[in-house]
Chain A
């Protein structure tokens, strides 16, 4: 159980175009989803937190107009990188959190998306 998928796994795009990344919880309903960015050989950097049906909460320094997050259902969140530039090239990872009985929450991660902007 607790499987999270991400699509696409790898995308190459031209500078100035927009790219959408999907994150799905396959066998549970995710009350909250998270989007991370990971640079080579570094830890995960939280970009934003999204709850179904409400606006995402962005971390300090993350441009919300550039990284659009939509959480339309309890199983799907999307991250759109708008007007992508080479500096946006990175590994993007989503996670989904399920509130189990007793109130404990654990994040389960998708496999990640490698974005390369030419």
Chain B
């Protein structure tokens, strides 16, 4: 049973950076794309970007392209999402997610049926 285990809650100052991790356990890491999705309090879901560990290629939503970096470390089966120049509007729960099916479908950042537990990031002075 594949699980995604995320790092713990963070409290950051405006202008600083945060790096959230997402470890894959119980399954293969390189064959499945990992997405990062956030949800601000009382708001909807927002796709930030993702990575295909096998090809080490990242894809970002246009809105976050200049502030987010998504990386992967194959030996530890862990994906990372770093968000810089934090502001209060970045206060949200950040999720990593992926598909359980394999093959070509697993390379898209879409129809994710396995989700991490979420990491709360609070940006406050």
Are chains A and B native binding partners rather than an unrelated pairing?
no
Binding site for A on B (CB under 8 A): none
